Chains A and B, each alone.
Chain A
Amino acid sequence: DAKTTQPTSMDCAEGRAANLPCNHSTISGNEYVYWYRQIHSQGPQYIIHGLKNNETNEMASLIITEDRKSSTLILPHATLRDTAVYYCIVRVVSGSARQLTFGSGTQLTVLP
């Protein structure tokens, strides 16, 4: 799986959009970009994933650059409950079990 690089930490004001970047310059053509988050003391939670096109769901939007070497997770209206560590993971979907490889992630702190 391709390696990802994320900032160690970020702050965001409550109610504002939180934009979390991720670099994955060695991504292969069949690898997806996944985002998970882990709120303190809880299990990781799936947020969103995408291959080429931008994606949106009820939790967030995922913007992938045209060359696919980087992406941004957007939480449109951050709340205090969005404070968590956010993990960007690049992996293929099909094939073997393909466990997730978690890096260090970005600690997002939403400030009141």
Chain B
Amino acid sequence: DAGITQSPRYKITETGRQVTLMCHQTWSHSYMFWYRQDLGHGLRLIYYSAAADITDKGEVPDGYVVSRSKTENFPLTLESATRSQTSVYFCASRDLAGPTAGEQFFGPGTRLTVL
């Protein structure tokens, strides 16, 4: 399917477990982003990537790891999940240039619950 997809859509895990959230986009967009959304905080940036093998921290990176070996994939890993990481996670991408360069396209989100 064309666009940006996330998997899984829902995940329940336990404290201390490693969890990986997947994000895949079919547009070959240069930039990709991970946000988390919690009640009372809106969307906050966790990590972003300007291109394959280039990643950088956002506002709330602690406890998360990202990688980008291929342009189209940007997985987010919680190395040892904590209850405070219970949230809805959104992946987004945007193009480097062109008429849609300013737009970010968001995935449908992954609802993660850490027990």
A binding-site residues for B, Cβ under 8 Å: 32, 34, 36, 41-46, 49, 91, 93-94, 96-97, 99-100, 102-105
Asked whether A93 lies within 8 Å of B109 as measured between CB atoms, the reply is no
Asked whether A99 lies within 8 Å of B90 as measured between CB atoms, the reply is no
| Interface core residue of B56, B90, B101, B106 (most chain A CB under 10 Å) | B106
A85, closest chain B residue (CB): B42
> Taking the nearest CB of chain B, how far is it from the CB of A71, in angstroms?
15
| Interface core residue of A46, A99, A102 (most chain B CB under 10 Å) | A99
Asked whether B43 lies within 8 Å of A46 as measured between CB atoms, the reply is no
30 contacts between A and B (CB under 8 A): A42-B109, A43-B90, A43-B92, A43-B107, A43-B108, A44-B43, A44-B90, A44-B92, A44-B106, A45-B106, A46-B103, A46-B105, A49-B102, A49-B103, A96-B50, A97-B31, A97-B48, A97-B49, A97-B50, A97-B56, A99-B33, A99-B48, A99-B58, A100-B43, A100-B92, A100-B104, A102-B42, A102-B43, A104-B42, A105-B42
Chain A-chain B contacts (Cβ-Cβ < 8 Å), number:
49
Q: How far is the CA of A103 from the CA of B106 in the complex (A)?
A: 17
A99, closest chain B residue (CB): B45
